[in-house]
């Protein structure tokens, strides 16, 4: 795991930080009164905000104060994307148990909080960790988060599904290494990637099919599409000349275009980019309406973290419009755990199926071209 | 059985048994009234009449380290049975004290009575002291308070009221006893003070040696006592920790506070005394976990780590009998 260069930044907020935070308009007088109340203090609401902020700032604070102020400043932890990988090979439950236990001991010895839950064909590991962002206000810099890694038994091994970020990705990788050691085998790792399918049309097709042909769901709207075209690599010329040498042919290059709205895939702009200009889709957000069952509408977003090579596939179920009283609600709610599980399952399966399919298609097309030549 | 313990005796007892340990001084005048100068201040009842005076049970004072002035706590001593600790009863008490403070802040009569010098910078605040005399009040006083709307008290701009409920009083009494015990064991010298470091926006006044505890820190998360050497201890800090110790994050935040206050030094003994009755049973292991996380987060070297390792965390011995400074003579 990466070692931090600094400590956890301004973790104990200074009086100046607190003063500044309490003077922000997002923090209402009620919140300030409550902070005082927890210290057995009643202040007059006629006292100017600045005086109250200065008074509170002189006090000693605890973690709860910090969390309350941070919450007021609107820094609620957001849900994160999910990524997954299949690890296939000769591994069984006892190997997994050894690997998970080792991982737990190691993480705990370095002070992380780890919880392991075993169900019949699934092991869930929850790790509490914190993230830093020095670009934001002091109160938002450190955030406590929960990361999950799920291991689901498959016919060939396990599906490893985890929260997609550097910390949890590393923990998952560590777990897989331990699993290999425990089982004394090398496991094949299958990720969703289109690295070896370099054709723009086929890469776009991946997202098209994912959004339009998700089994059990009907596409209700496409609200965002991100397209990408890598900057052409210069041949012959040294790359370092690149910057200075704009006279090369004075050409501009638009690398990525984001389109947001309704029915984005039907738009003329998108189709021109895709058909004429060789751009390909690297991210899509769409509504998927359940055909059977409750009939809810799910907002899903899927993307390749690395658009150039089309790897690092991840997705998120960002919200649900529930079907209630015979109609679709206009109010979006956060998804429930079982909904995330179900959407993850179908998205993963469809994505894997599509990757296999597109690889075949690419091979065929290539072979066809070679034949023609 | 003594029939009449008057307000004066109770105030003296409270001062001796509780507030003296926090280095507060009690003004010798007890149970006196001062003139009301605001015709808007009216009595409750069907026909509200303008008040003639406001009551004053006792006044405590100390020097505030950050304000550089004397803080006078105009204290209202209340003793209620469990069934009387209700939001409406408390509301009445807060309202009355608000009006009292409103007048006191601008009253020459008040300043004369409580010997405030003409050129002395000072701040007058209210302190509502709510004692439960039948010992049956077991709920959290802060919960009762949180059900009240204290936004509309007749409190003028800048005015402040502090309050202490039965559980706070019990806790402060236990801390006082703990200080006595430590001194008796010579694990704390006779002379000590409370610690208020320089902050970024405000610096400490005075030399800090016999600094009194501020009323805010008596009800805040941590109260830090600073002491010199004694027969059985090195110089350092005793920290009364008034939080549940529920998670490593809570303690990590606390450790970072000590670090920011420049308290994590090799030659300083740090003793943490947990005062919260509801504190986590697993306190020590949660604290250990926090230390580990903290050391890791800052990439501490072994020398620095050993400073953290030397910290002691204990619960204070809670005083078994419930504190009761006497039954009679209270205001109700």
**Which of A61-70, A254-263, B316-325 shows the highest mean pLDDT?**
A254-263
- How close A35 comes to chain B (CA, Å)? 11
DSSP 8-state class, residue A241: G
What residues in B contact A59, CB-CB < 8 Å? Answer: 216-217, 220
Q: What pLDDT does residue B5 have?
A: 55
Beta bridge partners of B269: B236
**Which of B44-58, B94-108, B125-139 shows the highest mean pLDDT?**
B94-108
Which of B228, B94, B90, B246 lies closest to B155 in space, CA to CA? B94
Determine phi and psi for A176, rounding to 5 degrees.
-65, -40
Collect all residues with Cβ–Cβ distance below 8 Å to B275 and sequence separation of at least 6: B171, B174, B175, B240, B241, B242, B315, B316
- Identify the residue with better confidence: A5 or B63: B63
Contact indicator for B155, A46 with CB cutoff of 8 Å: yes
- Picking from A3, A19, A39, the nearest residue to B201 by CB comes out as A19
pLDDT band for position B328 (cuts 50, 70, 90): low
- Picking from A46, A57, A112, the nearest residue to B156 by CB comes out as A46
Yes or no, beta carbons of B66 and A46 under 8 Å apart: no
pLDDT band for position B282 (cuts 50, 70, 90): confident
For residues B35-47, give the mean pLDDT: 86
Is the model's pLDDT at B331 over the cut of 80? no
pLDDT band for position A234 (cuts 50, 70, 90): low
Chain A contact present for B168, CB below 8 A: yes
What residues in A contact B249, CB-CB < 8 Å? Answer: 63, 144
- How close A97 comes to chain B (CA, Å)? 24
pLDDT band for position B218 (cuts 50, 70, 90): very high
- Picking from B145, B168, B289, the nearest residue to A111 by CB comes out as B289
The two structure tokens encoding residue A27: 């923090």
Q: Residue A190: exposed, middle, or buried by beta-carbon count in 10 A (0-12, 13-18, 19+)?
A: middle
Determine the residue of chain A that is closest to B255 in CA distance.
A12
- Identify the residue with better confidence: B330 or A95: A95
Is the model's pLDDT at A8 over the cut of 50? no
Which of A129, A213, A202 lies closest to A366 in space, CA to CA? A202
Is the model's pLDDT at A71 over the cut of 80? no
Q: What pLDDT does residue A6 have?
A: 44
Residues of chain A with a CB closer than 8 angstroms to some CB in chain B: 3-4, 7-8, 11-12, 14-16, 19, 30, 33, 37-48, 51, 54-55, 57-66, 109-113, 144
How distant is the alpha carbon of residue B60 from its chain centre? 12
Q: What pLDDT does residue A74 have?
A: 61
Is the model's pLDDT at B323 over the cut of 80? no
Yes or no, beta carbons of B155 and A43 under 8 Å apart: yes
Q: What pLDDT does residue A370 have?
A: 63
By DSSP bridging, strand B160-164 and strand A41-43 are antiparallel
- Picking from B168, B290, B295, the nearest residue to A40 by CB comes out as B168
Is the model's pLDDT at B1 over the cut of 50? no
Return the minimum-mean-pLDDT range out of A137-151, B25-39, B108-122, B257-271.
A137-151
Q: What pLDDT does residue A4 have?
A: 43
For residues A194-202, give the mean pLDDT: 93
Return the minimum-mean-pLDDT range out of A22-31, A175-184, B162-171.
A22-31
- Identify the residue with better confidence: A53 or A71: A53
Between CA A212 and CA A206 the distance in angstroms is 10
pLDDT in tens, B93-124: 999 999 999 999 999 999 999 999 988 999 99
pLDDT band for position A351 (cuts 50, 70, 90): very high
How distant is the alpha carbon of residue B37 from its chain centre? 30
The two structure tokens encoding residue B261: 């206050």
Yes or no, beta carbons of B165 and A63 under 8 Å apart: no
pLDDT band for position B322 (cuts 50, 70, 90): low
Yes or no, beta carbons of A39 and B260 under 8 Å apart: no
For residues A189-210, give the mean pLDDT: 93
- Picking from B66, B256, B293, the nearest residue to A58 by CB comes out as B66
DSSP string of A37-103, one letter each residue: HTTTEEE-TTS-HHHHHHHHHTS---HHHHHHHHHHTT-PPPP--EEEEEEESS--HHHHHHHHHHH
Chain A contact present for B155, CB below 8 A: yes
Chain A contact present for B198, CB below 8 A: no
Yes or no, beta carbons of A44 and B252 under 8 Å apart: no
Q: What pLDDT does residue A250 have?
A: 62
Determine the residue of chain A that is closest to B161 in CA distance.
A42
- How close A110 comes to chain B (CA, Å)? 7
- Identify the residue with better confidence: A110 or A272: A272
- How close A1 comes to chain B (CA, Å)? 12
Q: What pLDDT does residue A235 have?
A: 60
What residues in A contact B146, CB-CB < 8 Å? Answer: 37
Whether ipTM tops 0.90, in short, is yes
pLDDT band for position B251 (cuts 50, 70, 90): very high
Yes or no, beta carbons of B253 and A63 under 8 Å apart: yes
For residues A201-216, give the mean pLDDT: 95
Helix axis angle for A93-109 and A166-183, nearest 10°, is 130
- Picking from B220, B254, B257, the nearest residue to A39 by CB comes out as B220
pTM beyond 0.80: no
The two structure tokens encoding residue B27: 């003004």
For residues B207-229, give the mean pLDDT: 95
- Picking from A7, A14, A39, the nearest residue to B216 by CB comes out as A39
For residues B290-300, give the mean pLDDT: 82
Between CA B37 and CA B54 the distance in angstroms is 10
Between CA A140 and CA A91 the distance in angstroms is 42
Return the minimum-mean-pLDDT range out of A181-195, A244-258, B122-136.
A244-258
- Picking from B155, B168, B221, the nearest residue to A44 by CB comes out as B155
How distant is the alpha carbon of residue B328 from its chain centre? 24
Q: What pLDDT does residue B2 have?
A: 36
Chain A contact present for B66, CB below 8 A: yes
The two structure tokens encoding residue A321: 């419009």
Which of A266, A267, A326, A318 lies closest to A295 in space, CA to CA? A326
By DSSP bridging, strand B192-194 and strand B222-227 are antiparallel
Is the model's pLDDT at B57 over the cut of 70? yes
Determine phi and psi for A361, rounding to 5 degrees.
-60, -40
Determine phi and psi for B171, rounding to 5 degrees.
-65, -45
**Which of A66-80, A111-125, A358-372 shows the highest mean pLDDT?**
A111-125
pLDDT band for position A371 (cuts 50, 70, 90): low
Q: What pLDDT does residue A2 have?
A: 41
Yes or no, beta carbons of A14 and B249 under 8 Å apart: no
Determine the residue of chain B that is closest to A45 in CA distance.
B151
Percent of chain B with pLDDT over 90: 56
Q: What pLDDT does residue B321 have?
A: 55
Return the minimum-mean-pLDDT range out of A197-201, A247-251, A263-267, B226-230.
A247-251
pLDDT in tens, A82-92: 999 999 999 88
**H/E/C letters for each residue in chain B?**
CCCCCCHHHHHHHHHHHCHHHHCCEECCCCCEEEECCCCCCECCCCCCCECCEEEECEEEEEECCCCCCEEEEEEEEEEECHHHCCHHHHHHHHHHHHHHHHHHCCCHHHHHHCCCCCCCCEEEEEEEEEEECCCCCCCCHHHHHHCCCCCCCCCCCCCEEEEECHHHHHHHHHHHHHHHHHHHCCCCCCCEEECCCCCCCCCCCCCCCCCCCCHHHHCCCEEEEEECCECCECCEEEEEECCCCCCHHHHHHHHHHHHHCCCCCCCCEEEEEECCCCCCCCHHHHHHHHHHHHHHHHCCCHHHHHHHHCCEEEECCCCCCCCCCCCCCCEC
Is the model's pLDDT at A241 over the cut of 80? no
Is the model's pLDDT at A233 over the cut of 90? no
How distant is the alpha carbon of residue B31 from its chain centre? 22
What residues in B contact A4, CB-CB < 8 Å? Answer: 297, 299
Collect all residues with Cβ–Cβ distance below 8 Å to B154 and sequence separation of at least 6: B40, B41, B95, B98, B99, B102
Percent of chain A with pLDDT over 70: 88
Yes or no, beta carbons of A42 and B150 under 8 Å apart: yes
Between CA A216 and CA B235 the distance in angstroms is 71
Which of B213, B303, B313, B173 lies closest to B254 in space, CA to CA? B313
Between CA A74 and CA A26 the distance in angstroms is 8
Between CA A65 and CA A41 the distance in angstroms is 14
Count A/B contacts: CB-CB distance under 8 Å: 135
Question: E-strand spans in chain A?
Answer: 41-43, 82-88, 113-118, 122-132, 142-153, 157-163, 188-191, 217-228, 256-260, 280-290, 297-306, 311-321, 323-324, 327-328
The C-alpha angle with vertex B319 and arms to B315 and B322, in degrees rounded to 5, equals 135
What residues in B contact A47, CB-CB < 8 Å? Answer: 157-159
Yes or no, beta carbons of B253 and A40 under 8 Å apart: no
Q: What pLDDT does residue A77 have?
A: 56
pLDDT in tens, A278-288: 899 999 999 99
The two structure tokens encoding residue A232: 């052409």
For residues A98-109, give the mean pLDDT: 90
For residues B76-101, give the mean pLDDT: 92
Which of A111, A123, A130 lies closest to A168 in space, CA to CA? A130
Return the minimum-mean-pLDDT range out of A41-50, B44-53, B195-204.
B44-53
By DSSP bridging, strand A142-153 and strand B58-63 are unpaired
**H/E/C letters for each residue in A177-219?**
HHHHHHHCCCCEEEECCCCCCCCHHHHHHHHHHHHHCCCCEEE
């Amino acid at each position: 795991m990466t070692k931090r260069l600094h400590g956890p930044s301004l973790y104990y907020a200074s009086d100046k930080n607190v003063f500044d935070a309490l003077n922000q308009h997002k923090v209402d007088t009620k919140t300030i009164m409550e902070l005082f109340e927890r210290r057995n203090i009643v202040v007059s609401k006629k006292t100017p905000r600045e005086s109250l902020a200065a008074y509170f700032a002189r006090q000693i604070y605890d973690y709860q104060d910090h969390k309350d102020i941070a919450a007021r400043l609107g820094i609620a932890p957001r849900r994160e994307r999910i990524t997954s990988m299949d690890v296939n090979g000769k591994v069984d439950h006892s190997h997994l148990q050894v690997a998970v236990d080792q991982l737990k001991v190691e993480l705990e010895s370095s002070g992380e909080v780890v919880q392991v839950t075993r169900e019949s064909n699934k092991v869930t590991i929850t790790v509490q960790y914190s993230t830093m962002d020095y670009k934001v206000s002091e109160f938002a810099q450190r955030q406590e988060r929960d990361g999950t890694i799920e291991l689901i038994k498959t016919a060939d091994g396990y599906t490893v599904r985890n929260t997609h970020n550097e910390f949890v990705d590393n923990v998952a990788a560590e777990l897989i290494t331990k699993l290999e050691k425990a089982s004394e085998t090398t496991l094949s790792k299958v990720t969703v990637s289109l690295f070896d399918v370099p054709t723009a049309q086929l890469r776009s097709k991946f997202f098209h099919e994912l959004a339009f042909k998700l089994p059990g769901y009907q596409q209700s709207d496409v609200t965002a599409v991100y397209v990408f075209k890598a900057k052409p690599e210069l041949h012959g010329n040294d790359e370092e000349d690149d910057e200075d040498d704009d006279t090369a042919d004075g050409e501009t290059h638009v690398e990525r275009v984001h389109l947001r709205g309704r029915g984005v895939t039907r738009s003329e702009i998108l189709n021109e980019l895709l058909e004429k200009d060789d751009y390909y889709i690297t991210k899509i957000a769409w509504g998927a309406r359940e055909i059977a069952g409750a009939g809810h509408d799910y907002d899903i977003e899927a993307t390749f973290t690395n658009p150039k090579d089309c790897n690092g596939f991840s997705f998120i179920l960002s919200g649900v419009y529930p079907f209630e009283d015979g109609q679709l609600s206009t109010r979006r709610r956060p998804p429930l755990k079982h909904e995330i599980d179900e959407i993850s399952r179908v998205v993963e399966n469809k994505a894997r199926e599509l990757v296999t399919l597109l690889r075949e298609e690419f091979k065929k097309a290539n072979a066809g071209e070679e034949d023609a030549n | 059985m003594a029939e009449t313990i008057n307000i004066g005796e109770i105030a003296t007892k409270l001062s001796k048994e509780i507030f003296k340990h926090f280095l507060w001084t009690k003004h010798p005048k007890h149970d006196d009234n001062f003139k009301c100068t605001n015709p808007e201040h009216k009595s409750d009842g069907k026909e509200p009449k303008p008040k003639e005076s406001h009551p004053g049970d006792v006044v405590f004072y100390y020097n505030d380290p950050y304000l550089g002035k004397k803080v006078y706590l105009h204290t209202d001593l209340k003793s209620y049975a469990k069934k009387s600790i209700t939001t409406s009863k408390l509301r009445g008490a807060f309202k009355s004290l608000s009006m009292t403070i409103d007048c006191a802040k601008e009253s020459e009569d008040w300043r004369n009575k409580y010997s405030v010098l003409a050129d002395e910078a000072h701040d007058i605040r209210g302190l509502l002291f709510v004692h439960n005399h039948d010992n049956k009040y077991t709920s959290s006083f802060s919960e009762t308070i949180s059900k009240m709307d204290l936004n509309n008290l007749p409190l003028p701009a800048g005015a402040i009221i502090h309050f202490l409920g039965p559980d706070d009083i019990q806790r402060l009494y236990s801390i006082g006893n703990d200080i006595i015990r430590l001194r008796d064991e010579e694990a704390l010298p006779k002379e000590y003070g409370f610690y208020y470091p320089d902050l970024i926006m405000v610096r400490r006044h005075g030399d800090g040696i016999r600094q009194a505890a501020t009323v805010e820190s008596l009800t805040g998360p941590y109260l830090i006592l600073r002491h010199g050497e004694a027969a059985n201890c090195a110089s350092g800090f005793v920290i009364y920790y008034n939080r549940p110790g529920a998670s490593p994050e809570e303690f990590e935040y606390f450790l970072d506070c000590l670090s920011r206050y420049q308290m994590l030094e090799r030659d300083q003994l740090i003793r943490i005394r947990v005062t919260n009755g509801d504190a986590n049973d697993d306190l020590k292991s949660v604290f250990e976990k926090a230390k580990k996380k903290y050391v890791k987060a800052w990439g501490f070297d072994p020398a620095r780590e050993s400073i953290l390792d030397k910290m002691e965390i204990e619960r204070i011995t809670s005083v078994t009998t419930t504190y009761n400074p006497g039954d009679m003579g209270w205001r109700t």
